[in-house]
């Protein structure tokens, strides 16, 4: 009964979403107060009904109601509760429902957000959000109903794919969806501006926090997905340039570019049309990502069930949304008032540089991801574009950004002084060169490019703070602390986020020193990997809630002293007869020793894959630092439009938030 109520709630949400979009458009034209209020209520109503539907499905999972087909196919009564709950979105239907839930929640927060958002803009934004929500709700109801029943109901469910029975599933998809769908707000703002024919710095001021929030979630979601793949798939890699990973990287690159171009628009009213285009592109890439992942055109762990009707429907949504918005763009963009031009050597110029390279990298990833699909559709030839392609294209396009980032931060608006900026980053440059030289000397005869890349990372970390350093060190040294506190929080946000890129770069560069060893081992055998020696102590069978496993315990030795131990296991989930490898991770500082098992032979020997991965955690910690930078910037008071201007109060009176 509750499942049917959930189904009905989705229908009501669809009807209300249509109301929201029609009334919103009308309100945007007529500026009628009642219609404006109605649009807001409709957005809240859609959100309430989608929440109700999601709650109904979650309940079915928690109580293991196997008369609901979706639950029977993807859950099991013996599964731990956390996986029952995260299993709600560990399948096609549920994950689309989560997508819509996030979309509706974002629309509701636009509806609720303070009085400072102009009513016309808000109505148009909500109208566009309503359209997207209506399309996806129609998709769920037409092709992916999560509430359909089976009769008779089975006694036991078919279990969740064991690869997904992990804490990662509880975190990664919601974060990623918050990022993907967060891009829809920027998209709706862009389309609203095109509908209204008006775009100005206030627009940019409103778009930035949403884009920033989406970007933070996307950054964390991608990093989380990468770490999950790293420990769950058991081959020690963290990024495979899999099309599905690229599907999340492309919106990230576009959103990063959008963040930077919106700054130019907010400060200088330039790059208007480009910013609108980027906002459209960022969300379009999120949609394409959803299409690639959900339609089953790709071979991937993310492709749950393959059903051509769904692919066609999503393709339809894609054509309507992307085609429609781009057509609107082509029609209306020339009518927008052009912004000013500016000198090439200036902060704006540097941000354009950033946009050019990010857009080019995004295009390269796009081509590499979609070329095989296009070629197959056109000629029938099946090809795969692997990591070499992406390494050859993306790395050279990222390198100029790494070099330019601290310089650009030090350029002034309007007319920059390249020489002055270079002088300010002299010290950072010297530190970076010294770091590269020390690393190169310490690892002489090893990888050549890695020390240079580490120098690049150090350059970013130190150089990102050079602007703050320069701003603070002007004037009397006694007032240094108060000047530091007086700096806007967004200045720290920028510095921290850029430093985060540097941290990730160091982590990536250090992969050059990763050591891999593969050996067949028996109890008591030793294996040397990097600076460590591992001893296989025992292989013991164990039983978990819904699996059996053979757990191999290793002792880790360094200079013949025991420093730790690690357990790696080969699991079998009997319900699906599916084996998985549980990698053993031993973390020392920011490095890890990674152990994964191959097949255990009847004679008790086992193939073991061992890695020594120094500095590996920096790859993901860098993303966390980037997100912290974004959050700092988001918390800047000036970002809250309409909030009272920050008082230049003495430090003791500074708000403690």
Partner 1 sequence: MSRRQRRLALIGSALAVLAAAAALVLTALRDSIVFFHPPTEIVEKAIAPGSRLRVGGLVKEGSLVRGEGRSVRFVVTDTKTDLPVSYAGILPDLFREGQGVVAEGVLQADHSFRADSVLAKHDEKYMPREVADALKKQGLWQHNGADAAPSTQ
Size of the site for partner 1 (CB under 8 A): 53
Residue burial 115-124, b: 16+ Cβ < 10 Å; e: rest: eebebbbbbb
Binding status of residue 163 toward partner 1 by CB under 8 A: yes
The verdict on whether omega for the bond into residue 152 sits within 30 degrees of 0, i.e. cis, is: yes
Q: Which of 449, 518, 526, 647 binds partner 1 (CB under 8 A)?
A: 518
Q: Which of 151, 599, 603, 657 binds partner 1 (CB under 8 A)?
A: 599
CB–CB of 579/571 below 8 Å? yes
Q: Give dist(CA 138, CA 129) in Å, integer.
A: 14
Binding status of residue 389 toward partner 1 by CB under 8 A: yes
- Quote the least distance from Cβ 232 to partner 1, whole Å: 11
CA separation, residue 314 to residues 242, 264, 290 (Å): 21, 34, 8
Nearer to partner 1, 16 or 364 (CB): 364
Stretch that binds partner 1, among 276-284, 359-367, 482-490, 615-623 (CB under 8 A): 359-367
C-alpha dihedral sign at 82, 58, 251, 122: negative
Strands 548-558 and 561-573: antiparallel
Binding status of residue 363 toward partner 1 by CB under 8 A: yes
CA atoms in the 13 A half-sphere facing the CB of 205 = 17
Cα first-last separation, the chain: 47
Binding status of residue 371 toward partner 1 by CB under 8 A: yes
**Paired residues of 567 in beta bridges:** 553
Nearer to partner 1, 50 or 293 (CB): 293
Q: Give dist(CA 384, CA 434) in Å, integer.
A: 41
For the window 391-410, what string marks contact with partner 1 as x by the rule CB under 8 A? -xx--xx-------------
Question: CB count, 10 Å around CB of 269?
Answer: 16
Q: Which of 515, 578, 590, 641 binds partner 1 (CB under 8 A)?
A: 578
Binding status of residue 368 toward partner 1 by CB under 8 A: yes
Q: Which of 576, 588, 637, 640 binds partner 1 (CB under 8 A)?
A: 576
Nearer to partner 1, 314 or 506 (CB): 314
Nearer to partner 1, 77 or 520 (CB): 520
Binding status of residue 342 toward partner 1 by CB under 8 A: yes
Q: Give dist(CA 225, CA 221) in Å, integer.
A: 6
Q: Give dist(CA 634, CA 213) in Å, integer.
A: 7
Q: Which of 117, 135, 273, 361 binds partner 1 (CB under 8 A)?
A: 361
- Quote the least distance from Cβ 274 to partner 1, whole Å: 10
Q: Which of 357, 492, 586, 611 binds partner 1 (CB under 8 A)?
A: 357
Closest CA to 222 of 511, 626, 545, 636: 626
Binding status of residue 379 toward partner 1 by CB under 8 A: no
- Quote the least distance from Cβ 228 to partner 1, whole Å: 14
Q: Give dist(CA 406, CA 425) in Å, integer.
A: 7
Q: Given phi > 0 = left and psi -120 to 50 = alpha, else beta, which region is 147?
A: alpha
**Paired residues of 552 in beta bridges:** 539, 568
- Quote the least distance from Cβ 482 to partner 1, whole Å: 39
> How many residues are there in the chain?
657
Stretch that binds partner 1, among 434-442, 447-455, 521-529, 572-580 (CB under 8 A): 572-580
**Paired residues of 543 in beta bridges:** 548
Residue ranges in 292-321 that form contacts with partner 1 under rule CB under 8 A: 296-301, 303, 305-306
Stretch that binds partner 1, among 78-86, 283-291, 386-394, 435-443 (CB under 8 A): 386-394
Binding status of residue 373 toward partner 1 by CB under 8 A: no
Kindly state the tokens that stand for 537. Answer: 């102590």
Where do contacts with partner 1 occur on this chain (CB under 8 A)? 161, 163, 234, 296-301, 303, 305-306, 341-344, 352-353, 356-357, 360-361, 363-364, 367-368, 371-372, 381-386, 388-389, 392-393, 396-397, 518, 520, 576-581, 596, 598-599, 607, 609
């Amino acid at each position: 009964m509750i499942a049917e109520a959930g189904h009905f709630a989705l229908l009501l949400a669809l009807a209300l979403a249509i109301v929201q979009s029609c009334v919103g458009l009308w309100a945007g034209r007529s500026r009628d107060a009642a219609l404006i209020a109605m649009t807001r209520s409709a957005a809240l109503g859609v959100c309430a009904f989608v929440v109700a539907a999601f709650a109904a499905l979650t309940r079915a999972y928690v109580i293991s109601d196997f008369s609901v087909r979706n639950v029977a196919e993807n859950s099991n009564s013996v599964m731990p509760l956390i996986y029952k709950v995260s299993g709600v979105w560990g399948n096609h239907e549920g994950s689309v429902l989560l997508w819509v839930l996030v979309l509706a929640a974002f629309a509701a927060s636009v509806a609720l957000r303070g009085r400072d958002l102009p009513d016309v803009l808000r109505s148009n934004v909500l109208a566009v959000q309503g359209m997207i929500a209506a399309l996806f709700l129609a998709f769920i109801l037409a092709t992916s109903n999560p509430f359909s029943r089976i009769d008779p109901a089975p006694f036991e469910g078919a279990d969740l794919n064991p690869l997904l029975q992990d804490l990662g599933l509880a975190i990664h998809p919601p974060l990623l969806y918050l990022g993907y769908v967060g891009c829809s707000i920027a998209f709706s703002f862009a389309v609203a501006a095109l509908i209204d024919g008006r775009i100005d710095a206030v627009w940019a001021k409103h778009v930035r926090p949403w884009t920033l929030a989406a970007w933070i979630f996307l950054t964390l979601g991608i990093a989380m997905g990468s770490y999950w793949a790293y420990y769950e798939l058991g081959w020690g890699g963290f990024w495979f340039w899999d099309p599905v990973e690229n599907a999340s990287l492309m919106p990230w690159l576009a959103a990063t570019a959008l963040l930077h171009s919106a700054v130019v628009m907010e400060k200088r009213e330039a790059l208007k049309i480009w910013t609108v285009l980027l906002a459209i592109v960022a969300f379009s890439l999120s949609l394409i990502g959803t299409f690639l992942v959900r339609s089953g055109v790709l071979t991937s762990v993310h492709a749950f069930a393959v059903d051509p009707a769904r692919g066609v429907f999503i393709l339809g949504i894609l054509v309507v949304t992307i085609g429609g918005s781009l057509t609107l763009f082509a029609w209306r963009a020339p009518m927008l008032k052009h912004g000013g031009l500016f000198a090439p050597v200036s902060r704006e110029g540097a941000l354009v540089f950033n946009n050019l390279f990010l857009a080019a990298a995004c295009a390269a990833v796009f081509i590499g991801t979609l070329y095989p699909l296009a070629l197959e559709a056109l000629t029938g030839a099946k090809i795969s574009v692997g990591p070499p392609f992406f390494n050859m294209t993306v790395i050279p396009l990222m390198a100029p950004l790494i070099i330019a980032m601290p310089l650009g931060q030090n350029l002034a608006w309007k007319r920059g002084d390249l020489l002055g900026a270079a002088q300010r980053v002299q010290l950072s440059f010297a530190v970076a060169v010294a770091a590269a030289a020390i690393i190169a000397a310490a690892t002489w005869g090893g990888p050549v490019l890695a020390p240079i890349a580490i120098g690049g990372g150090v350059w970013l970390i130190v150089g990102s703070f050079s602007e703050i350093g320069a701003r603070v060190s002007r004037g009397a040294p006694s007032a240094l602390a108060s000047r530091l506190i007086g700096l806007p929080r967004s200045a720290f946000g920028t510095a921290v986020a850029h430093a985060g890129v540097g941290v990730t770069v160091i982590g990536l560069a250090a992969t050059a020193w990763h050591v891999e060893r593969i050996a067949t081992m028996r109890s008591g055998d030793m294996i040397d990997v990097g600076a460590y020696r591992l001893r296989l102590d025992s292989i013991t069978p164990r039983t978990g809630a819904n699996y059996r496993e053979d757990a191999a315990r290793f002792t880790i030795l360094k200079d013949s002293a025991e420093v730790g131990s690690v357990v790696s296991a080969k699991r079998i989930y009997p319900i699906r007869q599916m084996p998985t490898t549980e990698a053993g991770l031993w973390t020392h500082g920011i490095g890890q020793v990674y152990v994964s098992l191959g097949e255990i032979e009847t004679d008790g020997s086992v193939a073991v894959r061992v890695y020594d991965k120094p500095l590996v955690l920096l790859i993901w910690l860098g993303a966390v630092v980037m997100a912290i930078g974004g959050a700092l910037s988001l918390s800047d008071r000036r970002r809250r439009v309409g909030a009272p201007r920050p008082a230049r109060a003495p430090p003791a009176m500074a708000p403690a938030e």
